[in-house]
Amino acid sequence: MQKFDVAVIGSGPGGYVAAIRAAQLGFKTVCIEKDKKLGGTCLNVGCIPSKCLLQSSKDYAWLLNESQEHGIEYKEAKVNFAQMMARKEKVVRGLVDGVAGLFKKNQIARIEGKAHFISPNTIEIDKKEHLEASHFILATGSEPISLPFLKFDEKVIVSSTGALSLTKIPKRMVVIGGGVIGVELASVYNRLGTEVIIVEMLDRICSPMDLSVSKSLLQILKKQGLTFHLNTQVLKATVSKDSAQITIKQDGEQRELNADIVLVSVGRRPYDEGLGLAEIGVRKSLRGYVLVDSSFRTTIHHIYAIGDLIEGPMLAHRASEEGIATVERIAGLKAHVNYMAIANVIYTEPEVAALGLTEEDAKNLLGPQIKVGTSFFKGNPRARCLGETEGFVKVIGEVKSDRLIGMHIVGPQASEMIGEGVMAIEKRASLEDLARAPHAHPSLCEAIKEACLNALGRPIHG
Ligand SMILES: Cc1cc2nc3c(=O)[nH]c(=O)nc-3n(C[C@H](O)[C@H](O)[C@H](O)COP(=O)(O)OP(=O)(O)OC[C@H]3O[C@@H](n4cnc5c(N)ncnc54)[C@H](O)[C@@H]3O)c2cc1C
């Protein structure tokens, strides 16, 4: 039987990054992946394909709606949907191959098959091969949640996976769930000409976000043509070969919505099917997350768990950071994950990026001991040149220390801008630090400086 120092189960951004770090630290490492392709949800059916389609549809929408203002004229713009999907596949393939290359370079053994624990030290793969390891890292990720009366057929009732691989642009799409995945995919199809209706049970979209961000995004997306039913429950559905009728309840009244595609994006749950965790004593929470301590150790000493499989925001970079920290701790190094510095991004247009505490959370925790500053992109010269002036930057600082404890951006390239906030939180920077740092002009990041100046009571452009 083969023996390894570290066996990683799952090759998503948690697993593959953990495997590479383990190999770098000199551990004899293996990664077991049940799918043919490495890279997990993120590379194959998550972050990467969704961002490809968001980019393609954004370019198309720009051509239709904004190019004329820039003096750019064209005869006819049309979508070749098959080519758009082919490009997405090509990008995914390139990155998946990249992971395989990194495994080779780092001499990581790769085994294709589904892992199952037959004892705390031994796993069986596809009921054939067996291997032993001194340390196991569980990185088996998550899966989409379906509704009891709306099971995925990935034709009419689709999960995000199905929505990323449609063969034609739907005429009408109902999206159940106004979370990050729901609004991103709704944006893609709205831009391509689909009539999109989002049904959300809560009174706001993207609910963990700062309230002002959630409200602003809702207004912007409505302007772009998306229809929202908030405070609305989906009661039942009738599904036929190529359409569905959804019954919703809003303000006590029932009504029907018809669609040729229904995207159910009501959340994801941790995935550990077939691993046999209960049998070896790895315990889970009531919601199905594997329980870990601050070193990512499960209830079995040499078995660790990371990423979507454990409680926390389901984000690729969180999974990767946890993978690195776990392996470094196994190696006896000091390592930790600073969750305050894990940014949450929504790749709508404009983008949304959030970091640290929301204003509501900060008020609940610190009461009046916070200061808040905002700067709007309509006053930012670079945003004006781009023609993308919607949104704002909001910074939250702690009064006594002046430390940055939250940053929330609705605006162009927010996913890139938030990097400044990440670094500031990592380095425990103050609002004064950010306000004094010279920012290039004209740049979108000047809005961060201005928001800090605003919080400090001395805005230049406010
Ligand atoms: C549509 C969509 C868009 C997203 N966009 C973003 C984004 O923009 N940014 C972001 O940060 N996050 C995004 N996410 C979330 C992100 O994809 C996940 O948080 C991330 O992939 C979790 O990584 P992971 O390594 O924990 O698990 P996963 O990526 O899910 O990988 C788990 C792997 O384990 C394998 N596996 C499972 N069980 C076994 C077994 N028994 N044996 C062997 N292999 C097994 C699976 O096949 C899979 O490959 C998105 C998700 C979706 C669905």
Q: Give the chain's end-to-end CA distance (angstroms, integer).
A: 69
Q: Which CATH architecture has domain 341-455?
A: 2-Layer Sandwich (3.30)
32 lines ligand 1 (CB under 6 A): yes
How many other β-carbons are positioned within 10 Å of the β-carbon of residue 77? 12
Q: Provide CATH 3.30.390.30 ranges for the chain.
A: 341-455
Q: What are the tens digits of pLDDT across the range 394-453?
A: 999 999 999 999 999 999 999 999 999 999 999 999 999 999 999 999 999 999 999 999
Question: Can you give the pLDDT at residue 1?
Answer: 85
pTM: 0.97
Residues 6+ apart with CB under 8 A from 427: none
Q: What are the tens digits of pLDDT across the range 212-250?
A: 999 999 999 999 999 999 999 999 999 999 999 999 999
140 lines ligand 1 (CB under 6 A): yes
Question: Distance from the CA of 11 to the center of ligand 1, in angstroms?
Answer: 8
Using only the alpha carbons of the chain, give its radius of gyration: 23
pLDDT category, 189, cuts 50, 70, 90? very high
- Residues known to be catalytic: 441
**Partner residues linked to 229 by β-bridges:** 199
Q: Which atom of ligand 1 is nearest to the CA of 10?
A: 34
Residue 47 burial by CB count (10 A; 0-12/13-18/19+): exposed, middle or buried?
Answer: buried
Residues 6+ apart with CB under 8 A from 378: 384, 389, 390
Question: Distance from the CA of 211 to the center of ligand 1, in angstroms?
Answer: 28
Q: Nearest-CA neighbor of 141 among 290, 7, 271?
A: 271
Q: Which fold has domain 2-144+269-337?
A: FAD/NAD(P)-binding domain (3.50.50)
Question: Distance from the CA of 46 to the center of ligand 1, in angstroms?
Answer: 7
- Residue 177 one-letter amino acid: G
Beta carbons of 337 and 329 less than 8 angstroms apart: no
34 lines ligand 1 (CB under 6 A): yes
Q: Which fold has domain 157-266?
A: FAD/NAD(P)-binding domain (3.50.50)
Distance (Å) of CA 279 to CA 135, 210, 282, 459: 18, 41, 8, 61
Question: Can you give the pLDDT at residue 339?
Answer: 97
Q: Provide CATH 3.50.50.60 ranges for the chain.
A: 2-144+269-337, 157-266
Is 334 a residue whose pLDDT tops 90? Answer: yes
Residue 413 CA to residue 119 CA, distance in Å, equals 48
Is 146 a residue whose pLDDT tops 80? Answer: yes
Beta carbons of 196 and 226 less than 8 angstroms apart: yes
In this structure, the residue with its CA closest to atom 8 of ligand 1 is: 47
Question: Distance from the CA of 295 to the center of ligand 1, in angstroms?
Answer: 21
Q: What are the tens digits of pLDDT across the range 80-123?
A: 999 999 999 999 999 999 999 999 999 999 999 999 999 999 99
188 lines ligand 1 (CB under 6 A): no
Question: Can you give the pLDDT at residue 462?
Answer: 74
Is 29 a residue whose pLDDT tops 80? Answer: yes
141 lines ligand 1 (CB under 6 A): yes
Count of CA atoms in the C-beta half-sphere (13 A) of 130: 8
Question: Can you give the pLDDT at residue 257?
Answer: 97
